[in-house]
Amino acid sequence: MATGETGFDDVHYDLISVQYHALKGGHDYGQYVRDARNAGLDDVAAFFEQVMAEDSARAKQCHEFLRQLGGTANTEPKTGPA
């Protein structure tokens, strides 16, 4: 398996990256929902809630894939030649 500059194989890094961004987005979207509700824009708030739910499902799927890939034993940095 090829490794990138991080020393981790690309698939683990990619899953962790997608999971992080999905969780970060979900955190930010909570504020967007509040902003839309405060503006009386329930349809926009519902849209942000939908996006938040999709990111939550995406993060959960990444977590499951990472679990299936073996947890910490397969996510340690690789040493030596790639």
- Per-residue model confidence as pLDDT tens for the chain (82 residues): 455 565 667 898 899 999 999 999 988 999 999 999 999 999 999 999 999 999 999 999 999 999 998 855 444 445 555 4
Helix or strand holding residue 68 (H, E): helix 42-68
Closest to 76 (Cα-Cα) out of 7, 3, 1, 2: 7
pTM beyond 0.95: no
9 forms bridges with which residues in the sheet?
A: 3
Alpha-carbon span 35 to 18, nearest angstrom: 25
